[in-house]
Structure 1
Amino acid sequence: MKTNRRRLTTVGMFLISLGLMGTANAFGDSIPIGTIMAFGGDTSNPEVRLQLFKQGWLPCDGSAVSTVDFVELYSVIGSAFGGNQVELRLPDFRGRFLRGVDQGAGRDPDAGSRPAPVEGGNMGDKVGSVQHDEFKSHAHPYDKLTERGNIASGSYWKFGTVETGAVGGKETRPKNSYVNWIIKAKDLH
């Protein structure tokens, strides 16, 4: 591993960038085109974007880029995230959790019905498809006294089932921390 003022750390299968200037040879001489990594730098900063570009990386922000300028990337991802033969769309992972493609494993019950992120992108059980917010269907019924009274032979109680009201946040999610996602777009070696 070579570093310039910053370091890259390998954690499991993910490379998490803790800076901007580091380069790593985790995959031999190059990182495969189309590799997506978590990046700790600020991709909204033009200087950071320029440094990423000089190292062959682009932010996963849904931008359109020329297929002529990024032939290798187009040959790997095609129009999975939208685009055509002139322009390809980069993945737009802003505000999204990433999930592995199900590929028939049966872990995603909605694998076949996942929509494309944008027109022309991949749908179903393919890289690039998305799943919108969802909370597994459920209810919380409980018994509640709905009527009480007296009759000639004593008193009576009547119970009915009532549903709880909606509570919770704006989405269902695990605890999380923000990162920027970047994609290897060119091999500059």
Structure 2
Amino acid sequence: MIQPNMVNSSFVRPGFGDLPVGSVVAFAGSVGAPGSAPENFSTDPLEAWGWMVCDGRPLTTQNYPELFAVLGYVYGGSNDQFHIPDYRGYFLRGNGTGTQNDPDLASRSVPPGGQGLSSGVGSIQSSALENHEHSYNSAPAPAAAAPSGTAAGAPSATASLTTGGPVPGQGQSSKVPVSQSETRPINASVNYIIKFTYGLMPLNR
């Protein structure tokens, strides 16, 4: 059992042990292409510091006991193998269990191959656009007959629109047309990385 106050001055640099294993942070630097598990923790300087990118890779429970103790099989795996989360392309959201802050909680699901709870940490949710309605303003003035020489078919001389929102019972409001493949806020791309060990492994040079 790793104790929070255990420090090995030979392997732990100042600040290295401040965050618990399983912590996920946004990393502004570039990382290598997804590959196999860095079993010797020395394939990348990022991993030499005890972090790896959240790309869903499989790891062995024997080589990563600290991280397995935190994640289990929530993100997939079985027996002596488990997966880390794959957060590529995802926005992260605080777990809303026990609150009213995730009104579509029932639409959440476990990640592919995962063994967690559909409403728990690690669950995913597809994109959506909230149902909404738009109000409208009345016609500014009654319509009149078209002047001589213009196209025929003038509108009714009586304005029928009134100010307000859609009236219940008189049909559904029209759907909002989709102009892109998703609904998204302004954003910037980062790499999410996860801490996998309390110890620091030296690089093989």
TM-score normalised to structure 1 length: 0.69
- The amino acid of 1:107's aligned partner reads N
Matched, 1:59 2:53: yes
1:24-173 equivalences under 5 Å are 25=15, 29-44=17-32, 50-138=44-132, 163=174, 166-173=177-184
Off by >6 Å, runs of 4+ in structure 1: 154-162
Query: Which structure would you say has the larger RCO, counting Cα contacts within 8 Å and 6 or more residues apart?
Result: 2
1:176 to 183, 187, 204: 187
The SS at the match of 1:126 is coil
What is the rounded CA distance, in whole Å, between the counterparts of 1:113 and 1:167 in structure 2? 21
Q: Find the counterpart in structure 2 of residue 15 from structure 1.
A: none
Q: CA deviation at 1:169?
A: 2.5
**Which structure has the larger Rg?**
2
What is the rounded CA distance, in whole Å, between the counterparts of 2:14 and 2:105 in structure 1? 34
In structure 2, relative to structure 1, the CA distance for the partners of 1:155 and 1:120 (3 Å cut) is: closer
Structure 2, unaligned stretches of length 5 or more? 1-12, 35-41, 139-152, 162-169, 201-205
CA contact (8 A) 1:140 1:163 kept: no
What is the rounded CA distance, in whole Å, between the counterparts of 1:134 and 1:164 in structure 2? 13
CA contact (8 A) 2:109 2:119 kept: no
Identity %: 34
Q: CA deviation at 1:167?
A: 4.1
Q: Find the counterpart in structure 2 of residue 7 from structure 1.
A: none
What is the rounded CA distance, in whole Å, between the counterparts of 1:156 and 1:178 in structure 2? 54
- The amino acid of 1:112's aligned partner reads A
The SS at the match of 2:66 is helix
- The amino acid of 1:44's aligned partner reads G
Q: CA deviation at 1:38?
A: 0.5
Structure 1, unaligned stretches of length 5 or more? 1-22
The SS at the match of 2:52 is strand
Task: Looking at secondary structure, tell me which structure has more strand per residue.
Answer: 1
Q: CA deviation at 1:88?
A: 1.1
Q: CA deviation at 1:54?
A: 0.9
What is the rounded CA distance, in whole Å, between the counterparts of 2:15 and 2:158 in structure 1? 78
Q: Find the counterpart in structure 2 of residue 186 from structure 1.
A: 197
